[in-house]
Amino acid sequence: MNDTLAANSHVTHLVTSPISGAIGCEVRGVDLAQDMGADVFDQILAAWHEGLILLFRDQHLDELEQVRFGERFGTLAGVINQHNGRGTHPSVMYISNIRENGQLIGALPDGEMYFHSDQCYMEVPAMATMLYAMEIPSKGGDTVFANMYKAYETLPTELKTHLEGRLAVNVYDYESNGTMRGSQIKAGGKYFAHPVFRTHPVTGKKALYVNRLMTDHIEGLSKAESDETLNVLFDHAEQAAFHYAHQWRVGDLILWDNRCSQHARTDFDASERRKLRRITVLGEKPY
């Protein structure tokens, strides 16, 4: 056995515990910088499908170690927007408000961010995203995760029936401010229509798949009905009963499933430094 395998070789059964009543699970005892056997990885995968988001504390990861862990889940997505903050690896992006020589070193720098599901405006969106915390403000800048299985399950039956089989157009055109909804769809912006309710390919469960940052309209409805319906769905999805707000600590890594969760960010003091390293894993076309 080589040294890297040895570092996780004591792990037989993962220790996991829920981090909230709504969503999420903490996994303890695994060093993500080291390789791990298929038995350990399979337990991580099962915990992820059960918990929707996984939290690993006290990790020490460089870019390539994080990339290597990401690649266990599937093909990594490249960085697709013209943001600052590209890593040395084509799939690594930094989320940061830090400026060096007057230039931002990361993307999505400041302030609150509306709820969204990563890359839902692409034909094949990101299945998974992982963020690794490197510098964190003393307060605020929490990432809030919401459980979209629960959102789907608790919708009124008549609304579910009315929207079953419908597609919603998701867009991302807010190059000037990637964190809040824009008022105009920019010509040439990226967009794609996906089911309002999608089915998770592993669990078989349905999840609500529209979000306040990126969903523009529901196809086949008048603008007035689409706007009204989306506002009902956004408010429903964002209720606190489905939430977990993560207060980051340096060394945290969170892996989330974009197929059945949404996430947002709370505001924070722009004079404090915030830096996280992000990798996304490609999934399948939603159905």
Contact residues: ligand SIN, CB under 6 A: 95, 108, 113, 143, 263, 265, 278
CB of 2 to ligand SIN, least distance (A): 34
Nearest to 175 by CA among 157, 187, 161: 187
Judged on CB neighbours under 10 Å (0-12, 13-18, 19+), 155 is: buried
CB of 28 to ligand SIN, least distance (A): 22
Q: Over the range 193-209, which residues count as b (16 or more CB within 10 Å of their CB) and which as e? A: bbbbbbebeeeeebbbb
CB of 265 to ligand SIN, least distance (A): 4
Choice between 81 and 231, CB closer to ligand SIN: 81
Q: Are 192 and 122 in contact (CB under 8 A)?
A: yes
Choice between 149 and 256, CB closer to ligand SIN: 256
Q: Which helix (H) or strand (E) holds 149?
A: helix 148-153
**76 - beta bridge partners?**
281
Choice between 43 and 141, CB closer to ligand SIN: 141
Choice between 119 and 229, CB closer to ligand SIN: 119
Choice between 35 and 238, CB closer to ligand SIN: 238
Residues 6+ apart with CB under 8 A from 125: 117, 118, 119, 194, 258, 283, 286
Closest residue to ligand SIN, Cβ-based? 143
CB of 244 to ligand SIN, least distance (A): 13
CB of 180 to ligand SIN, least distance (A): 12
Q: Residue 235: what residue type?
A: D
